Amino acid sequence: MSDVSTWEGLAALHTRLRWLGAALFLVAAVLLVVRVVLVAQGALPPIRGILPSIAGLGFSLGSFGTANDTALWAMSKLDASGALPPAYTTELAHERSVRAERLAGVHAAPKVALGMPVAAVLLLAWLAWSAAGAAAGA
């Protein structure tokens, strides 16, 4: 497998995967609000109610960030090799015009970018499950 096809695969996968991170962030934000309400009602203690929800926000944001960085890194490699697909040209040009110094320092973490959504989903599932249990007991 050539470097170009590897970079194309990484760009395609992680361009889609970052939207999973965005969706997970919205779910985490809703769960934070639900758990704050449960804390206010006395159904959950503050530490157990709010801190894990903040961790859920962090993991979901990390899911987006690592996938985004990996996608941008792969796009940069494709561009440097002259093989950037037209679908990514506009996005890469925008990133260069807005955040050129950040783009120059971006690095790939494809394994982390695959693991972060898994960890986020597991944490968010636990947060939802424990909130449902607390709501049922309140």
Q: Which of 138, 100, 114, 128 is nearest to 34 (CA)?
A: 128
Range of the domain at 85: 3-137
Cβ atoms within 10 Å, residue 32 = 18
Cα distance between residue 21 and residue 121, in whole Å: 10
Number of domains composing the chain: 1
pLDDT tens for each residue of 59-75: 999 999 999 999 999 99
Cα distance between residue 42 and residue 24, in whole Å: 26
Q: Please answer whether residues 117 and 24 qualify as being in contact, where contact means their C-beta atoms are separated by less than 8 angstroms.
A: yes
pTM of the model: 0.88
Q: Indicate whether 29 pLDDT > 90.
A: yes
Cα distance between residue 120 and residue 79, in whole Å: 31
Q: Indicate whether 13 pLDDT > 80.
A: yes
Q: Which of 69, 58, 79 is nearest to 109 (CA)?
A: 69
The number of residues in the chain equals 138
Cα distance between residue 57 and residue 63, in whole Å: 10
